[in-house]
Structure 1
Amino acid sequence: MLNADKPLIWGHRGCRSLAPENTLASMELAHAKGADGWELDVVLTRDGIPVLLHDLNLLRTTDAAKHETFRSNPPALPWRFTLEELKTLNAGIFPRRRCGRKDWGTDTSFGVQPIPTLEEALRRSAELGLWVNIEIKDVSNAMPGPMAKEIVLRTLDVVARLKMEESVVVSSFNLAYVAECKQHAPHILTGMLTPHAYTGDAAALAQSIKADAWHPGHKRLTQAAIAHVRNAGLAVTPYTVNDPARMVQLIEWGVSGIVTDNPQDVPDL
């Protein structure tokens, strides 16, 4: 799947340029705009439920600051609250000043968008036939120790219960998480995330943790680095590529796919 003949288009947190990120509405819009799959971010609630959230707090992408439960009990960290409490929040807040857009303000047309659980997101993705890149957020230095150690197994449990092992890629900047995923579920594809500034031997590092793919920041990515990793039998899927000209260049250089906020702007391949 990762090394398909045609590069796969992954909507970053759904269709983040046009809809509130990490919501079912964003995922559905990515599908409508032609994405093959979408990337989402996972953290745990206090009761151990994987939910979709990029930041390690709730303030940017929800209305937590307006809710007494969260205002009177700071900090607004997702693992300090139960799923029932998080479901009272609206994740449908959509500031338009992002992803290269020039219009400012807040789009409220999406209404109330609850924070989805990973299970809800995967079920809807399966209905639409979308691949899913599950990025497990690195909570190793943020969450309480015992809880942080559960995030990989809790994520894998949801994937297994829904029988979606062949439709997901599990990725993380925390390479120990990637290695742990392979240890417990060697049949599930994994991706090694690295920052834009990474210049090491990505093939060797990915192979050391048995990753199937390299997900690099695209800004310093070179044709030679792509070729080196592809020749090692690994997929290369850079993020977050929003300029159509850069998309074309990376595709010509042989990437396996691209992650973009703007699936609506991908040129015809």
Structure 2
Amino acid sequence: MKPLSLINDKPLIWAHRGGRSLAPENTLQALRRGHEAGADGWETDVQLTKDGELIILHDLNLLRTTNAGVHPLFRANRPALPWRFTLEEIKKLSANVFPRRFCPPHYSEQPWKELPETVHPDLRVPTLSEALDITAELGMWINIEIKDLSHDVPEEFSKTVVKKVTDMVHAKGMDTQVIISSFNHDYMRESKIVAPQIFTGILTPHEFTGDPVEAAKAVKADAWHPGLQFLTGEVIQRVREAGIAINPYTVNKPEDVSRLTKWGVTGLVTDCPQSIR
């Protein structure tokens, strides 16, 4: 596939957590569903296991998106923090938690409906390696959000996670298919030092009031990934004029798609790629 270009004639469609309206979030099936729905790439979340393996998981515990709450091993070690368990142990969990409704029903070519019969009954928490392999197979791009492991997690995890991610991306020859992002902007600074060829993006919360251009330039980030709630056309224009891509999250409503596209965003992170395309 051609190298990832963050600035294109029309916004890239990023399937949030693989398109979590289509299949259990952050599973390989969600990735495939997002691809089928027309997404250009998918956004996903990465953190570390006890034995230093990179897994795809949004929350800092395993309770919401797996059956850890009823599994004896994990129930005895609540709140089931992934860094307390090995990859082999985490692979024993089911990640088949069916999605709730995220997308406006009227904003689809076909009515949104649950399809439990098509959800694989043996879904597991994927590794980043598995996710990258399928990304390459499908010719997609991937936005890897590194979860902030600098609080309430052993220090060695925060110190090693960026290098582990960039090394794996490079080893698989996928430098030009990846953008790495995080709310921890120090991670983005480190990423540009150890792998300057890989795109990076700073994540900020909806209530962010700082200067996005200064924040991105401070860590040499290529993109800004803001919450959409308080975005304005003026801010988007200034970010674009600075040569920085802008990919807001989480864009599910048609009026938000129309407004943000008119204002010139370079990408849309959405739970509903089947609708937005």
Give me the TM-score of the superposition, normalised by structure 1.
0.95
Q: Tell me the C-alpha RMSD between the 2 structures.
A: 1.8
SS at match of 1:192: strand
The unaligned stretches of length 5 or more in structure 2 are 106-110
Q: In structure 2, what is the Cα distance between the partners aligned to 1:86 and 1:211?
A: 33
Distance change in 2, residues 1:178/1:108 (3 Å)? farther
Q: Is residue 245 from structure 1 mapped to residue 249 from structure 2 by the alignment?
A: no
Distance change in 2, residues 1:104/1:257 (3 Å)? closer
What corresponds to 2:96 in structure 1?
92
Task: Report the AA paired with residue 31 of structure 2.
Answer: M
Distance change in 2, residues 1:35/1:106 (3 Å)? closer
SS at match of 2:148: coil
Q: In structure 2, what is the Cα distance between the partners aligned to 1:95 and 1:253?
A: 31
Deviates more, 1:99-108 or 1:25-34: 99-108
After TM superposition, give the deviation of residue 73 of structure 1 in Å.
2.5
What corresponds to 2:236 in structure 1?
226
Q: Is residue 266 from structure 1 mapped to residue 271 from structure 2 by the alignment?
A: no
SS at match of 2:175: coil
| Percent identity for Structure 1 against Structure 2 | 54
Distance change in 2, residues 1:199/1:63 (3 Å)? same
Task: Report the AA paired with residue 43 of structure 1.
Answer: Q
Task: Report the AA paired with residue 228 of structure 1.
Answer: R
Q: Is residue 20 from structure 1 mapped to residue 30 from structure 2 by the alignment?
A: no
Choose from 245, 255, 265 the match for 1:235: 245
Contact 1:93 1:108 in 2 (8 A): no
After TM superposition, give the deviation of residue 66 of structure 1 in Å.
1.7
Aligned length: 267
After TM superposition, give the deviation of residue 74 of structure 1 in Å.
2.7
Q: In structure 2, what is the Cα distance between the partners aligned to 1:28 and 1:87?
A: 20
Q: How does 1:119-134 map to 2 (within 5 A)?
A: 119-134=129-144
What corresponds to 1:141 in structure 2?
151
Q: Is residue 79 from structure 1 mapped to residue 83 from structure 2 by the alignment?
A: yes
Contact 1:215 1:237 in 2 (8 A): yes
What corresponds to 2:34 in structure 1?
30
Distance change in 2, residues 1:198/1:161 (3 Å)? same
What corresponds to 1:48 in structure 2?
52
Q: Is residue 5 from structure 1 mapped to residue 9 from structure 2 by the alignment?
A: yes
Higher RCO, 1 vs 2 (CA within 8 Å, ≥6 residues apart) = 2
Task: Report the AA paired with residue 204 of structure 1.
Answer: E
SS at match of 2:269: strand
What corresponds to 2:108 in structure 1?
none
After TM superposition, give the deviation of residue 98 of structure 1 in Å.
4.3
The unaligned stretches of length 5 or more in structure 1 are none
SS at match of 1:150: helix
Give me the TM-score of the superposition, normalised by structure 2.
0.92
